[in-house]
Amino acid sequence: MFTEKEYPIDESLDKIIALLSPRQFLRISSQYIISIHAIKDIISHNNSRLKIVIQAKSLEPLVVSREKVSAFKEWLQQ
């Protein structure tokens, strides 16, 4: 289901997240939108943040910003 293809998009993440299903996608930081189906593991990270391991390879660690941790936990419980 997950590929390692990249698709450059000229839209802001604010515009993209507005088009996606809030049940399946969440903006976890200023740089990333994540699919609930892509989550492989969740690890506690420094400063009350969470590190997300996804099913596809990621060059950078995906970290849920402190401001988004509460929303992330609520989103997982849907």
Q: What's this model's pTM, rounded to 2 decimal places?
A: 0.86
Q: 24 has which bridge partners?
A: none
Residue ranges of the domains in the chain? 13-76
Q: Please give the pLDDT value at position 50.
A: 96
Q: Could you tell me how far CA 37 lies from the centroid of its own chain?
A: 10
How much of the chain, in percent, has pLDDT values that exceed 70?
Answer: 99
With contact defined as beta carbons under 8 Å apart, do 64 and 78 qualify? no
List, for residues 19-45, the tens digit of each pLDDT value: 999 999 999 999 999 999 999 999 999
